[in-house]
């Protein structure tokens, strides 16, 4: 029994397409896994989608036959569009393979959801969206045929994840949160009085989910007071645009990225009140797991952010005194994600802005920085990686007197690495710390989570960023940013302190152990 992804790979090979320029993500993990059983297909990892699409163009101009790409949903295809435009103008045949959310996940408007078909049409080529898993073979054939017709064109083949894993799950949608509106948001709008009544009655069975402006200091304080007055639980959305944290600001947990975490955080809730946030859905769909994270039977309602402080006043709660920061202890020893987080937390300057695209390696940061000096965290709201360095540029220009710290994973850093040059040109006070674990670690984890059995050399080569290791210190120097490399916690502390003290941008390439799934 083949998975849908295996059907796709085998049909591509049967049609003579045997090279795939890839920059995959979670929704493409079954395609990646299928490569192990298809040694005739050559996967070529590219660190940015514009490289993959341009390579597919160059390949076909010389080979005379098309290559495939493998791109990650709409944002991944967006990154590859400009070179698809050049391919269009060259009449180059390209089989542009784009993963999509599972079909039942698409209506939930999860963070990476977008109109992939519109991007396909933009290339003036053809768009092929199979209607079922059984339609995959025919869709691949049609895409290759269209790409290679005269004149050649870009044929975009959209592969929903559930078709790739080859089963169509039933009953995975909860009854909640996908009702009247397309976005899964609640229909019931509460005012402060109504919310007060609800929270008093429900106590800890109620959960407030904070997003938008509710995650700034005032909103968080109000939410902490509401919690104190009623026992209602409070959570911050998974990827807030701007979250204030640190001394004097209540510590409010974020909803977990992993659906398993989020489900646990929301368990037992009978009422969910959205305050500037959307009703939570999982980032991706996973075989046999629910996409809607709101427990069955939970009532979902909305309170506008502007009412939050009024609600706290009405309830009359008093926020608990913020925890006193412990002495900042600097760790020692070879660098790892845990002591890296401790170093950042211990040395974090007052009023810092953190641009957080640390991804997998950043798992210990929230706990470590909870009692650090007050700071704002800007997170990756839409899941389109390559945002951390650009966001740091913008934040530094918006707030020239605040220290900006970009905590940046290696794989994502490569997407928009030229942001370093603008930091140098403008002499921005940005300290970039590359959390360099030589891997698309999040994907190694996701490969397991989507239930594939892949552990072959070919599939793992697409998730591994060693061979060669990337030396971000050299790259930074090439773009005019002074840079160092840290392999121990002591070195990181020294270099981080120096970088913060000196004006202008700095980069620290923090060498973490090469990541492999536990």
Under rule CB under 8 A, which residues in 41-70 are in contact with a copy of itself? 42, 44-48, 50-63, 67
What's the min distance (Å) between Cβ of 287 and a copy of itself?
25
**Is 499 in contact with 508 (CB distance < 8 Å)?**
yes
User: Between residues 295 and 411, which has the closer beta carbon with respect to a copy of itself?
Assistant: 411
Among 256, 394, 451, 456, binds a copy of itself (CB under 8 A): 394
Work out the angle at residue 366's Cα, subtended by the Cα atoms of residues 362 and 367, and round it to the nearest 5 degrees: 115
Piece of 194-202, 260-268, 311-319, 408-416 that binds a copy of itself (CB under 8 A):
408-416
Q: Which is nearer to a copy of itself, 374 or 497 (CB)?
A: 374
For residues 408 and 476, what is the distance between their CA atoms, to the nearest angstrom?
Answer: 13
Residue with tokens 């699409």: 53
**Three-class secondary structure of residue 376 per DSSP:** strand
Beta carbon nearer to a copy of itself, 114 or 488:
114
| Closer CB to a copy of itself, 223 or 481, in the complex | 481
- Three-state SS at 118: helix
Nearer CB in complex with a copy of itself: 93/331 = 93
Query: Rounded to an integer, what distance in angstroms lies between the CA atom of residue 259 and that of residue 383?
Result: 15
**Distances from the Cα of 300 to the Cα of 252, 296, 437, angstroms:** 20, 11, 40
Least distance in angstroms from the C-beta of 417 to a copy of itself:
7
Binding mask 121-150 for a copy of itself (x = CB under 8 A): xx----------------------------
Query: Least distance (Å) from a copy of itself to the CB of residue 235?
Result: 18
End-to-end CA distance of the chain: 29
The least distance separating a copy of itself from the CB of residue 62, rounded to whole angstroms, comes to: 4
Task: Please report whether residue 397 would count as binding a copy of itself according to CB under 8 A.
Answer: yes
202 binds a copy of itself (CB under 8 A): no
CB 259 within 8 A of CB 290: yes
The site map against a copy of itself for 226-255 (x = CB under 8 A) is -------------x-xx-------------
Pairs from 393-396 (Cβ < 8 Å, separation ≥ 24)? 393/419, 393/422, 393/423, 393/426, 393/428, 393/430, 395/353, 395/355, 396/353, 396/423, 396/426, 396/428, 396/429, 396/430
Q: Which residue lies nearer to a copy of itself by CB, 67 or 347?
A: 67
- Does 308 help bind a copy of itself (rule: CB under 8 A)? no
Q: Do the beta carbons of residue 149 and residue 261 sit within 8 Å? A: no
Binding a copy of itself (rule: CB under 8 A), the pick from 36, 86, 256, 257 is: 86
Per CB under 8 A, the segment of 38-46, 191-199, 220-228, 336-344 that binds a copy of itself is 38-46
Per-position x/- string for 359-378, each x denoting binding to a copy of itself as judged by CB under 8 A, each - no binding: -----------------x-x
Convert residues 325-354 into a mask of x (bound to a copy of itself by CB under 8 A) and - (unbound): ----------------------------x-
The torsion angles phi and psi of 421, rounded to 5 degrees, stand at -60, -45
Site for a copy of itself in 469-508 (CB under 8 A): 469-480
Smallest gap from residue 176 Cβ to a copy of itself (A): 22
How near is the Cβ of 429 to a copy of itself at its closest, in Å?
13
Q: Which is nearer to a copy of itself, 50 or 317 (CB)?
A: 50
Nearest distance from C-beta of residue 393 to a copy of itself, angstroms:
4
**Contact letters (x/-) for a copy of itself, 258-297, by CB under 8 A?**
----------------------------------------
**Binding residue (CB under 8 A) for a copy of itself from 151, 180, 326, 503:** 151
| One residue of 130, 160, 386, 403 binding a copy of itself per CB under 8 A | 386
Could you check whether the bond before residue 468 is cis, i.e. omega within 30 degrees of 0?
yes
Among 358, 389, 447, 499, binds a copy of itself (CB under 8 A): 389
∠ Cα 437 441 445 (to 5°): 150
Residue 390 burial (10 A CB sphere; 0-12, 13-18, 19+): middle
Q: Which two tokens stand for residue 378?
A: 């800007």
A 10 A CB-CB count for 328 gives: 14
What is residue 243's three-state secondary structure?
A: strand
Choose, by CB under 8 A, the member of 231, 322, 366, 390 that binds a copy of itself: 390
Separation of alpha carbons 383 and 283, rounded Å: 9
Q: Which of 97, 157, 358, 392 binds a copy of itself (CB under 8 A)?
A: 392
Cα distances (angstroms) measured from residue 468 to each of 108, 408, 416, 514? 39, 19, 19, 12
Q: Map the footprint of a copy of itself across residues 419-458, applying CB under 8 A.
A: 419, 421-422, 424-426
Task: Check: CB of residue 221 under 8 Å from CB of residue 249.
Answer: yes
């Amino acid at each position: 029994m083949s998975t849908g992804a295996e059907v796709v790979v085998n049909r591509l090979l049967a049609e003579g397409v045997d090279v795939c320029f890839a920059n995959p993500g979670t929704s493409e993990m079954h395609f990646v896994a299928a490569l192990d059983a298809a040694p005739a297909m050559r996967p070529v990892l590219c660190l940015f989608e514009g490289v993959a699409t341009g390579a597919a163009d160059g390949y076909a101009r010389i080979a005379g036959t098309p290559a495939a790409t493998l791109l990650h949903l709409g944002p991944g295809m967006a990154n590859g569009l400009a070179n698809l435009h050049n391919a269009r103008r060259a009449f180059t045949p390209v089989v542009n393979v784009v993963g999509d959310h599972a079909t039942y996940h698409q209506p939930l408007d999860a963070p990476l959801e977008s109109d992939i078909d519109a991007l396909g049409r933009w290339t003036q080529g053809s768009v092929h969206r199979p209607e079922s898993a059984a339609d995959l073979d025919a869709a691949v054939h049609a895409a290759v045929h269209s790409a290679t017709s005269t004149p050649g064109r870009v044929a975009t083949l959209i592969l929903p994840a559930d078709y790739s894993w080859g089963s169509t799950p039933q009953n995975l949608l909860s009854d909640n949160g996908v009702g009247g509106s397309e976005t899964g948001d609640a229909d019931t709008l509460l005012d402060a009085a109504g919310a007060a009544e609800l929270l008093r009655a429900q106590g800890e069975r109620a959960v407030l989910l904070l997003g938008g402006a509710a995650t700034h200091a005032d909103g968080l304080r109000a939410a902490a007071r509401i919690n104190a007055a009623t026992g209602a639980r409070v959570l911050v959305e998974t990827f807030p645009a701007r979250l204030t944290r640190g001394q004097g600001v209540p510590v409010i947990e974020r909803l977990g990225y992993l659906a398993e975490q989020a489900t646990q955080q929301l368990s037992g809730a009978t009422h969910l009140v959205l305050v500037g946030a959307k009703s939570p859905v999982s980032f991706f769909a996973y075989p046999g797991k629910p996409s809607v994270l709101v427990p069955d039977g939970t009532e979902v309602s909305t309170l506008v952010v502007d009412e939050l402080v009024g609600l706290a006043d009405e309830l009359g709660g008093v926020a608990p005194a913020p925890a006193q920061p412990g002495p900042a202890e600097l760790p020692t020893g070879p660098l790892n994600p845990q002591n890296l987080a401790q170093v950042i937390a211990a040395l974090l300057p007052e009023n810092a802005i953190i641009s957080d695209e640390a991804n997998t390696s950043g798992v210990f940061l929230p706990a470590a920085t909870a009692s650090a000096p007050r700071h704002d965290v800007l997170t990756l709201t839409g899941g389109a990686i390559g945002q951390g360095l650009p966001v740091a540029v913008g934040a530094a220009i918006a707030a020239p007197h605040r220290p900006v710290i970009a905590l940046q994973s290696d794989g994502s850093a490569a997407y928009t690495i030229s942001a370093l040059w603008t930091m140098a040109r403008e002499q921005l006070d940005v300290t970039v710390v590359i959390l360099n674990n030589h891997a698309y670690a999040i994907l190694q984890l996701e490969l397991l989570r989507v239930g594939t059995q892949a552990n072959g050399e070919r599939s793992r080569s697409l998730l591994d960023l060693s061979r060669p290791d990337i030396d971000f210190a050299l790259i930074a120097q090439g773009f005019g940013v002074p840079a160092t490399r840290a392999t121990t916690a002591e070195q990181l502390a020294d270099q981080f302190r120096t970088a913060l003290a000196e004006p202008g941008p700095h980069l620290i390439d923090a060498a973490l152990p090469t990541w492999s799934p536990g």
